[in-house]
Amino acid sequence: MDIKGRFSDMLMLVMLLHIGIIAVGQDVLFSGEIKNHHDEPVSVFRFDKFEGRIDMGSATIQEDGSFSMELYDIKAGKYYWQHNEERTNIYLMPDMHLRVTVDYQDFDRSLEYSGTGADESNYLADHYNTFLNHKDQDDNLYAIVMNKISKLSPDEYKNLMDSLYNIQLIHLNEWKSKLSDEFYTKTKGEFYYQSLDNKYRYTWMRDYISQQNSSVDPVEIEDSYFSFLEDLYFDQDMLAENSYYIEVADQKLSRYNLFNDDIRQVESIEDVISSYKNATHIAEGMSLHHLRLNVFINALRRMNASEFEDPVEMFMNSEAPAELKEKLNKYYRKQLALSKGNVAPDFTLINLDGDSISLRSLMGKVTYLDFWASWCAPCIMEFKHLPYLKEKVDLEKIQFLYISIDEDEESWRKAVEKHQLSGVHLWAKGFQHEVPKLYQVRGIPKYFILDADNIILDDNPPRPSTGEILIELLNGYIDQ
């Protein structure tokens, strides 16, 4: 798929972070031939929800378009391979030799895999071309949802999600005889929990569309809308690493917290610990461990890491696998380095004029740093609060620094112009750019406040929509 296309990320982030893992990793040989190839190497990688892109290997492409690479410590699951600006899913498992042939000029339609375990990769290619190919907008699931959601009642929207699940299941069953039982079960489960996740996000998606189209009103829904979560219990270890499954578990946990502890949003360490304990009421086994990890890391993204010692210790003393404990500890240590009192990592990016601008060159003012993207609904919804905010602070002493992580430079430029955002605008190409990685940006919007010497004052400040709360905070920093 063309990695410049980003509105899929805005809507569903379909199949970006769902990597199934079994067994101990072993070696894989991946080779192939690319017609009409470019000079760039072929790379294989996977995405981790908490660590981002993890490179597995790469190979130089030969003059005849052929390539071959050996990949080490491979665990069964979905990966990506990429050449130039095209990338796609493949399924790898230990001790396999997978071969691909493809024409770069018709990348998605010409993919053909052979060798051991090729059926799963051929299914993934066929699923993408059947349901998700951006070149075929009339049949694209994203386009169907975007075109219909503003016209559907909540119940009609839920019925649409059920229909989309069923047509994908029909397609999967057509391939069933060729697929391994484990791959089939995991994929079916992914589609099911993806449909539940999309149901849960109905109001969020409507709010986003209303921001883009003034003729579409936001919608309020009755609590009964969420009845599809009521009877869910999470004990399917095979799905424990699927992010749709864990996301729905987190949604179920949020509602448990609300109705049992009156926790409307996890905002304090006490809330985090309560949520950690409440997880035992809705999950068990590996599902419980992954859900608790998700609770802690999501909270770390919103809170000051320096306050997180006790929750981290709780997880380290739990029965969670060592691999998950290491993930939390690694993430925690990185967040600590970005907490209050540390020097913000320096970087250099291009601005709207194409000039290279470093963070160091912007020293001298308090900086409100905003990581965003044109496809990010919550980011866009915050923009409408900026004019009032800027009226109430001293712009001689405070600057607003926006770093777009759009994959496509033109999308960034158009969004800045559309939303008339005054301030300093820089561009970092995608989540995998070194700057979002430096700042541990895994979700957006993400904000920081820096002092005039680029010392971090707050690694999780209030959003612009908090109004007077943020205004008082920013003006307070000026007076320090």
CATH label of the domain that carries residue 78: 2.60.40.1120
* Strand positions, DSSP E, 176-333: none
Task: Determine contact, residues 57/103, Cβ cutoff 8 Å.
Answer: no
pLDDT 10s digits, 231-246: 999 999 999 999 999 9
User: How many domains are there within the chain?
Assistant: 3
Long-range contacts of the stretch 387-392 (C-beta < 8 A, 24+): 388/467, 389/464, 389/467, 389/470, 389/471, 390/422, 392/471, 392/475
Residues 169 and 309 in one domain: yes
Is-contact 274 265, C-beta < 8 A?
no
pLDDT for the residue 409: 94
- Taking only the tens place, the pLDDT of each residue in 157-191 is 999 999 999 999 999 999 999 999 999 999 999 99
Q: In this predicted structure, what is the pLDDT of residue 5?
A: 38
pLDDT at position 134 is 59
Residues of the chain above pLDDT 90, percent: 70
Helix (H, G, I), strand (E, B) or coil at 78: strand
Of 270, 301, 336, which residue sits at a domain end? 336
pLDDT at 146: 67
Q: Which residue has the higher pLDDT, 341 or 151?
A: 341
**Among the listed ranges 138-152, 429-443, 459-473, which one has the minimum average pLDDT value?**
138-152
Cα–Cα distance measured from residue 47 to residue 30, given in angstroms and rounded to the nearest whole number: 18
Q: Are residues 364 and 461 in the same domain?
A: yes
- Nearest-angstrom CA–CA distance, 408 and 3: 9
Q: How far apart are CA 140 and CA 132, in angstroms?
A: 5
Name the pLDDT band for 142 (thresholds 50, 70, 90): low
pLDDT at 249 over 50: yes
Cα–Cα distance measured from residue 104 to residue 116, given in angstroms and rounded to the nearest whole number: 23
Higher pLDDT, 425 or 300: 425
* Start-to-end C-alpha separation, the chain: 50
Q: Quick check: 24 pLDDT over 50? A: no
Domain that holds residue 384: 348-479
State whether 178 and 269 are in the same domain.
Answer: yes
Residue 132 is predicted with a pLDDT of: 80
pLDDT over 70 at 136, yes or no? no
Contact 98, 30 (CB under 8 A): yes
- How far apart are alpha carbons 249 and 255 in whole angstroms? 10
Domain-located, residue 141: no
